Structure 1
């Protein structure tokens, strides 16, 4: 299942890369990429694990870039 998340307030491409790297390690994430320019993260996640993965990704984002707002677009 494809998920698109808006990460408003990312301060640098390095933070985006760190978030992407950590999200890719989550169980159930098939792929993940963040575009610093659009401040969007696109993930392919296993069905049935979506809520769990989104919550874990939000925690990762808050840990690395606490000022960024995490909004699920679709």
Structure 2
């Protein structure tokens, strides 16, 4: 299942790349893409694991940039 989420306060392209790389490695994630310019996260993941994946993705994002968040 592919879904797109808005991000806020991602301050650098390098941080976005690190977030994308780590989120892509989460179990149940088929692919993850972060557009720094558009401040968007596109996530292709198992629908039944989506809530847990989003929680883990939020932790990853916060660990790289404290101010950044996923907007639901």
TM-score, with structure 1 as normaliser: 0.92
Structure 1: state its 5+ residue gaps: none
SS at the partner of 1:48? Answer: helix
Tell me, yes or no, if the aligned pair for 2:7 and 2:41 is still in contact at 8 Å. Answer: yes
Cα deviation 1:15-49 (Å, max 9, x = unaligned) = 00000000000000001100000010101001210
TM-score, with structure 2 as normaliser: 0.94
Instruction: Provide runs of 4+ in structure 1 moved above 2 Å.
Output: none
Matched, 1:28 2:43: no
SS at the partner of 1:41? Answer: strand
Structure 2: state its 5+ residue gaps: none
Query: Going by fraction, where is helix more abundant, 1 or 2?
Result: 2
1:1-74 pair list within 5 angstroms: 1-72=1-72
